[in-house]
Structure 1
């Protein structure tokens, strides 16, 4: 059917994750110039129990594989069948991923050209919705007594290719297979033509499954390369493997640079909560240490929540913590290391001399042995490493990004560490600056700005304070595209 050597292969496994599960059966048929030249099948001892649902599905039990060879014992023979041939399977990423990981465990590297017959079915029969093996069996009236056994499924794929050859002709089958071999690493349900249109420019990409909720949102300065990397990482990442199994379409939004991609990714992950995003997904409550404005106010430190973490009072705030317990632990450590009074600071309640002073761990402000002013000064000095950075501009600013390859320019507008929005032109900028919006502090945005303001970026003062230039900032138009950014 196909003029080059190919091996149609199927595996049965203990589960769906190549990094953790194992092969329990292998079957293959090798073809030379379209003619069957050899076939082989074997049970494999996985070295782990077979789950009951796998036994119910395949009929393969623990007793059946107890005396079977291990994968290491059959690896050389298997490779002799695969050598010089295109590895062909229905959803080949699944089988190829298991084989690569099994060979990796024995210190060997498997690298083969692969052909997915699910993607081939989509290319040959685009008018049909289902392209799984059961759908193909029903569509073409195929039959087997060995469904969900490795050789039974191999023979179904062979029969399906023969039906396609008779219905569509050898030339169309070969052309479709040759086209897929040029880009073999995509998941079976992903449209290669769509992926080809993804630009290698900065932006954010979205992986979708069966519905309109994104499975995963990511960013990159080279979108297409990053998307492809999810599907060509040798199945070394269980996260990428799960995404590949579920993804059915990809969409993207271009930005003018990396900062725009980072800001958009952070916002959209918090809005949509994709199941495969973990790092930025949760928008937890923040806590900070608020210091009194003088030594006479006890307690000297209060732990405040996100509602009170406002950039305009950063000079009184120290540290940002994901939980109240972490804030308390940090304060307790500062008190211990600097012989401060836990009662004055606010870690203990009560009156009179604190217990730490009795243990000689407090300099004695609670016992009248240290001036409150000196104690307060030592507290503020001890907190200096946790001091939040005050907003270094008199008002709103824009950070301009420009992408030479796409010609796209964007201005990211900030005020007091808060991202007000991103605009593409002067009209949108005017509208954004004239709308009074509630500013909400976001830790991820704060960290991004701290990092980027230390670089050579194009910062533009905006709003009524635009004439009050910080040192080194010269007036410039917001969308002068060809200035260096």
Structure 2
């Protein structure tokens, strides 16, 4: 049994918006045998642009039932049914959210008629419900109303089942208006008990079961594409129909990570658009988990994909620097990175505002002097000394050695334990190794070498790598990785 469902809502985000109309058509595998539709009072105003799209106004839903009043009907009617919809994740996510708000876990197997249509009717110029119905001759009355869209989806679903039964892929010319009108006539009156379904053909079972199994995949991604993904470490790319990279990710097992991507219930219009935009998956194996992390960060900065939010910044013009004054006190201070070409920042940051805030945090955490960190301009003591939080380094009262020890502790909290070192990890093949190089606290890049490669000097390593930019993100990646229980070899150079 199949429950073909369409919803109208106050917007595109299940976490924020509510349902204004629901329509359910029960299909027994041969025909529609039951139906139900109703307006719903969403408990909030319907935006004007939504009313213009659907024709559903606040006046129309004012006296309509609330969702909780029809929840039992929906549960009972869809019990034991596969949840079918055109772009099923949207409708299914909204119903799950409404039921979750009532403390009920609504769960059904799902089937997407977008995906099934792409499989059984390839070559259509568009698979949106309106355009698809127009192209194959399915009448669609009451567009953007739940009952009209659900009725059209029911006819489409019936047609798709007949395609599987006839063991053929129909073209536009093979679908007649008479056929679709006959399917409309097959809709039974509300309340009619479901008729006994005929035994589906093996072909039908295969096609429909495959569609149910793959309902979570993006409409343009096939199970074969997913099956071909490597179960190895690397960076992967999601492309849209135009071939543009819209997302970059990384994993120690690309296949499993992408499976996790597609198993998620997307709860916003943007996330649904993201999933529906994925048309191709490519990847780059790295062998090493650390190199996958570093290369992902580089690629996000280079490509700036639409759906990557973190690590997009590619320029870090500010930073934290270190100097020692004539009295032996070490000064941490912030400034523009390009103003200090003779010395590299200890850490690069996005702008001076962030750098100043970063330094204030370290001053408070490690009990440093605001004056010696250029955060309090005064000829006398800093403010913290006046409130007994500074030990008097600003007045020369605290010995430089004691103060400098805390400065070093602060530096260690955001820099590497060693100034120059390499990290050697697994390669993309058994006879290969990866090499990551850090020199004088700066990340230089990574490369691949033969397993027989050996080196005594840091220069030997720097000659075999590809250079990449150093920045706050890669510094955090390397520091974080070194804190894990990794099995890579770290070689320190003095």
* Both proteins in one fold, TM over 0.5: yes
Q: Is the 8 A contact 1:136 1:160 kept in 2?
A: no
Q: What does the per-residue CA deviation read over 1:414-458, in whole Å, with 9 as the maximum and x for residues that have no partner?
A: 132414233265799999954897664222222332333454533
Deviation of residue 118 (structure 1)?
A: 1.0
The equivalent of 1:412 in structure 2 is 435
When residues 325 and 216 of structure 1 are mapped into structure 2, their CA distance, relative to the original with a 3 A threshold, is same
The equivalent of 2:426 in structure 1 is 401
Deviation of residue 76 (structure 1)?
A: 0.6
Alignment pair present for 1:271 and 2:299: no
Q: What does the per-residue CA deviation read over 1:235-264, in whole Å, with 9 as the maximum and x for residues that have no partner?
A: 357774442243333222233132222122
When residues 446 and 359 of structure 1 are mapped into structure 2, their CA distance, relative to the original with a 3 A threshold, is closer
The separation in 2 between residues aligned to 1:363 and 1:96, in whole angstroms, is 62
385, 392, 395: which one aligns with 2:418: 392
Q: Is the 8 A contact 2:233 2:254 kept in 1?
A: yes
Of the structure 1 ranges 433-442 and 72-81, higher mean CA displacement relative to structure 2 is found in 433-442
When residues 207 and 382 of structure 1 are mapped into structure 2, their CA distance, relative to the original with a 3 A threshold, is same
Of the structure 1 ranges 320-329 and 47-56, higher mean CA displacement relative to structure 2 is found in 320-329
The equivalent of 1:154 in structure 2 is 150
The equivalent of 2:261 in structure 1 is 230
The equivalent of 1:451 in structure 2 is 480
The separation in 2 between residues aligned to 1:122 and 1:341, in whole angstroms, is 66
When residues 329 and 115 of structure 1 are mapped into structure 2, their CA distance, relative to the original with a 3 A threshold, is closer
Of the structure 1 ranges 71-80 and 198-207, higher mean CA displacement relative to structure 2 is found in 198-207
Normalising by structure 2, report the TM-score.
0.77
When residues 108 and 359 of structure 1 are mapped into structure 2, their CA distance, relative to the original with a 3 A threshold, is closer
Of the structure 1 ranges 88-97 and 31-40, higher mean CA displacement relative to structure 2 is found in 31-40
In structure 1, runs of 5+ residues without a counterpart are: 462-468, 472-485
Deviation of residue 122 (structure 1)?
A: 0.7
What is the DSSP-based 3-state SS (H/G/I as helix, E as strand, rest coil) of the residue aligned with 2:74?
A: helix
The equivalent of 2:176 in structure 1 is none
The equivalent of 2:401 in structure 1 is 377
When residues 99 and 335 of structure 1 are mapped into structure 2, their CA distance, relative to the original with a 3 A threshold, is closer
The equivalent of 2:274 in structure 1 is 243
When residues 358 and 391 of structure 1 are mapped into structure 2, their CA distance, relative to the original with a 3 A threshold, is closer
Alignment pair present for 1:324 and 2:349: no
Of the structure 1 ranges 114-123 and 234-243, higher mean CA displacement relative to structure 2 is found in 234-243
What is the DSSP-based 3-state SS (H/G/I as helix, E as strand, rest coil) of the residue aligned with 2:324?
A: coil
How is 1:89-168 mapped onto 2 (pairs within 5 angstroms)? 89-164=85-160
Alignment pair present for 1:421 and 2:452: no
Of the structure 1 ranges 357-366 and 50-59, higher mean CA displacement relative to structure 2 is found in 357-366
Q: Is the 8 A contact 1:399 1:457 kept in 2?
A: no
In structure 2, runs of 5+ residues without a counterpart are: 169-202
Q: Is the 8 A contact 2:115 2:215 kept in 1?
A: no
Deviation of residue 394 (structure 1)?
A: 5.9
Of the structure 1 ranges 101-110 and 249-258, higher mean CA displacement relative to structure 2 is found in 249-258
Q: What does the per-residue CA deviation read over 1:84-108, in whole Å, with 9 as the maximum and x for residues that have no partner?
A: 1111111111111111111111111
The separation in 2 between residues aligned to 1:364 and 1:91, in whole angstroms, is 66
The equivalent of 1:177 in structure 2 is 208
Deviation of residue 340 (structure 1)?
A: 7.5
The separation in 2 between residues aligned to 1:360 and 1:16, in whole angstroms, is 53
Deviation of residue 190 (structure 1)?
A: 2.5
Deviation of residue 155 (structure 1)?
A: 1.8
Q: Is the 8 A contact 2:42 2:66 kept in 1?
A: yes
Deviation of residue 61 (structure 1)?
A: 0.6
Deviation of residue 217 (structure 1)?
A: 1.5
How is 1:217-366 mapped onto 2 (pairs within 5 angstroms)? 217-235=248-266, 240-283=271-314, 285=316, 287-296=318-327, 300-307=331-338, 322-329=350-357, 346-349=374-377, 351=379, 353-354=380-381, 356=383, 359=386
When residues 279 and 329 of structure 1 are mapped into structure 2, their CA distance, relative to the original with a 3 A threshold, is closer
The equivalent of 2:69 in structure 1 is 73
The equivalent of 2:221 in structure 1 is 190
When residues 456 and 215 of structure 1 are mapped into structure 2, their CA distance, relative to the original with a 3 A threshold, is closer
When residues 81 and 304 of structure 1 are mapped into structure 2, their CA distance, relative to the original with a 3 A threshold, is same
Deviation of residue 27 (structure 1)?
A: 0.9
The separation in 1 between residues aligned to 2:3 and 2:106, in whole angstroms, is 15
When residues 203 and 55 of structure 1 are mapped into structure 2, their CA distance, relative to the original with a 3 A threshold, is same
When residues 167 and 301 of structure 1 are mapped into structure 2, their CA distance, relative to the original with a 3 A threshold, is closer
Q: Is the 8 A contact 1:43 1:65 kept in 2?
A: yes
Q: Is the 8 A contact 2:337 2:348 kept in 1?
A: no
Deviation of residue 319 (structure 1)?
A: 6.4
Q: Is the 8 A contact 2:393 2:400 kept in 1?
A: no
What is the count of residue pairs matched by the alignment? 449
When residues 292 and 106 of structure 1 are mapped into structure 2, their CA distance, relative to the original with a 3 A threshold, is same
Deviation of residue 321 (structure 1)?
A: 5.3
Q: Is the 8 A contact 1:340 1:375 kept in 2?
A: no
The separation in 1 between residues aligned to 2:108 and 2:466, in whole angstroms, is 56
The separation in 2 between residues aligned to 1:432 and 1:335, in whole angstroms, is 37
